[in-house]
Structure 1
Amino acid sequence: MTDENRGFHRPVRRPAEVLDRLFAAEDPAEVSRIAHSTASALLNRVRANPDDAVVERLIAFTGRHGIDDIAELWSRSPARTLPGALWRLYLLQLMIHDDPHTAALLYERGRTELASADAVVAGAPASAGPDELVALIDTILRGLFQGDFAVALERAAAFCRVQATGATHLADDYESTESERASTLTTRALRLSTYAGDLAACARLWRRESLT
């Protein structure tokens, strides 16, 4: 991602550094209120007037500013809430941007192993490479603000299922020769599978106007 002012931005904290990070709060109820109100205000304002420049700034936010600001707002929200869904999508985006080559490897392996329409639902071309995976996750995130929100969540869930399948099969490949790498891939597969379930549930809640 290019940015003529990159040198003036704060360092980007990598996804692995914040995935399990806890943020201190004196009043958890207040943190929850802020998380829900900011997520709702952001989404409603942008979807009501989806200016292309504003949407593109939101898509590029983590690449320019890191993940900490978003994490402070939304990372401790329950998974099946609006702030929880937004947090998971931004973190997923940053994980793909951070290592698109591994993402492409997992996606391609998952696409060939998974006997479902998930790869079609996610929307990546066949034999998608790193650039295509980066473009896909950005397109999915863009759909939150400019398209059908539930469809964007379903595409993200399908994307996670493909990636999780690829990680599982690669873990099996490495189990006998590189057990540590196999363990890392298994952990990633579990996380992605959990994300898939949560995002799919959020899509159903959104359609019932119950995602808050």
Structure 2
Amino acid sequence: MSGSSPRFRRPASLYPSVADQLPGDPDPGTASDLAHSSASALLDGVFHSEDPEVVQRVLTLAAREGLGDLATLWSRAPATTLPGALWRLYVLHTWVQRAGDDVVLRYRQGSRTVPGLRYLSGLSEPPDVDEVRRTMDDILRGAFTGDLGMALIRAGAVATIVAHGTAHLADSSPEEGLTAQAERLLSTGEELVAAGRHAEAGTLD
């Protein structure tokens, strides 16, 4: 309807304790509270669950529902908050799953520039597409079931390596937009690492 805000679609397949917090159209004044409470509920619910199906639903959440619902919840949250960190992690994970060949090309280029980050990423040298996708699955799973701080730092390492690889390709490719992509990936990598440090310090709220 003209002049009205877009309808917020409740992601019914989310963990129930998260879905219960989404009453409909979120008031802009409570958007930050909703972002934080939903992210905390999702993380806590999965962390304390022994049901493998719950973990799998979270891993495939963006693939099933798309990033739209998550964007509505979390995309405006600062990087060093829990919803902001989870948003960046899901975006990176989704891109890797969808563009594996491209990610591997960029990763291989970037790993020559920042070899010290390779051990943090957990990838072998050189990785193939299946390994990159499995690794991002493991990182996302680890964020919810293991060490959140380390998972975010590992994701940041992947993004930073790929950023350097993208910058190399920008120098030798006529394709437009690669330089901007490299800058965004580098920013994402730095933000994920910063969020990981906050998680390790217990200050990722």
Structure 2 counterpart of 1:7: none
Cα distance in 2 between the residues matched to 1:26 and 1:152: 30
Structure 2 counterpart of 1:60: 60
Gaps of 5+ in 1: 1-24
Determine if contact 2:153/2:197 at 8 Å carries over to the other structure.
no
Structure 2 counterpart of 1:106: 106
Cα distance in 2 between the residues matched to 1:117 and 1:54: 35
Once the two structures are superposed, the pairs formed by residues 157-168 of structure 1 within 5 Å of their partners are 157-168=156-167
Q: Secondary structure at the match of 2:177?
A: helix
Structure 2 counterpart of 1:121: 120
Structure 2 counterpart of 1:203: 196
Determine if contact 1:59/1:141 at 8 Å carries over to the other structure.
yes
Question: Could you report, residue by residue, the CA deviation over 1:94-140 in whole angstroms, capped at 9, with x for unpaired residues?
Answer: 111121111010011111232x4211110112111222111111111
The alignment's TM-score, normalised by the length of structure 1, stands at 0.81
Q: Secondary structure at the match of 1:113?
A: coil
The alignment's TM-score, normalised by the length of structure 2, stands at 0.83
Q: Secondary structure at the match of 1:128?
A: coil
Cα distance in 1 between the residues matched to 2:47 and 2:194: 21
Gaps of 5+ in 2: 1-24
* Counterpart residue identity of residue 184, structure 2: R
Once the two structures are superposed, the pairs formed by residues 35-54 of structure 1 within 5 Å of their partners are 35-54=35-54
Post-superposition offset of 1:158: 0.6
* Counterpart residue identity of residue 161, structure 1: T
Relative to structure 1, the CA distance from residue 27 to residue 97 in structure 2 (aligned partners, 3 Å threshold; closer, same or farther) is same
Determine if contact 1:50/1:146 at 8 Å carries over to the other structure.
no
Question: Could you report, residue by residue, the CA deviation over 1:146-182 in whole angstroms, capped at 9, with x for unpaired residues?
Answer: 11111101100111111001001111112xxx1xx1x
* Counterpart residue identity of residue 118, structure 2: A
Higher deviation after alignment, 62-71 or 33-42? 62-71
Runs of 4+, deviation exceeding 4 Å: none
% identical aligned pairs: 39
Cα distance in 1 between the residues matched to 2:49 and 2:98: 30
Question: Could you report, residue by residue, the CA deviation over 1:60-79 in whole angstroms, capped at 9, with x for unpaired residues?
Answer: 11112211111111111112
Q: Secondary structure at the match of 1:39?
A: helix
Cα distance in 2 between the residues matched to 1:125 and 1:51: 30
Post-superposition offset of 1:50: 4.6
